[in-house]
Amino acid sequence: MINPDDYIFVGKIGRTTGLKGSLTIVPLTSFPERFAGMKKFFLTMEKKTPIELDVDKVEYHGKLITVSFKGIDREEKARALTGYRITVHKNDRVKLPADHYYIEDLIECEVFDVGGKMIGKMKNVMEMSSNDIYVVDHRGKEVLIPAISEFIKDIDIENRRITASLINGMLPDED
């Protein structure tokens, strides 16, 4: 049985192009080239069970990406797919280089200081141009920790644990 929680969003089906059922893809991934190698697309609305469609062709036209599905050969049929999200199974994610992590894997990790004291849980990642900022819930207040080696000492995704070295004043209840 397909579990919707095992899938992540990597794109969205955009508008139709042409009369033969082609659709644009709005990438929601850092790896838009991934679509070229996909033989099947799993499409979903919200977090419902994905529907599976066989890919006929994926084309790149500069920044525009289009897809055609087998059995979807008319604009009217294709239009019904507009707005669906393209998902992939978590096991089919692009492999990241060492010391790079998917944001969804960081969310809800417990964050500890280097002495082993719990700081809180990771709630969000702010993507900035210079470096990401980890947003940690510390007793209902946000703690912002730059995602650089000076502060983040270890990330253990398997055990859902992050170790950080904080400086004075980073925690809201410190004087």
Domains, in order of start, for the chain: 4-92 (2.40.30.60), 103-164 (2.30.30.240)
List alpha helices for the chain, DSSP H.
75-79, 103-106
pLDDT at 48 over 80: no
Cα separation, 157 vs 47, in Å, equals: 24
How many CA atoms does the CB half-sphere of 42 hold within 13 Å?
19
Mean pLDDT in residue range 82-104 = 87
Give the residue from 133, 132, 136, 140 showing the smallest Cα distance to 122: 136
pLDDT above 90 covers what percent of the chain? 65
Question: CA–CA separation, 107 vs 124, rounded Å?
Answer: 6
Measured CA to CA, the distance from residue 23 to residue 37 in angstroms comes to: 17
Question: Residue 162 is inside which H or E element, if any?
Answer: strand 161-164
More confident residue, 71 or 89: 71
pLDDT digits (tens, 9 = 90+) for 135-159: 999 999 999 999 999 999 999 999 9
Residue 162 predicted with pLDDT over 80: yes
| Residue 175: band (very low, low, confident or very high) from pLDDT cuts 50, 70, 90 | very low
User: What pLDDT score does 174 carry?
Assistant: 61
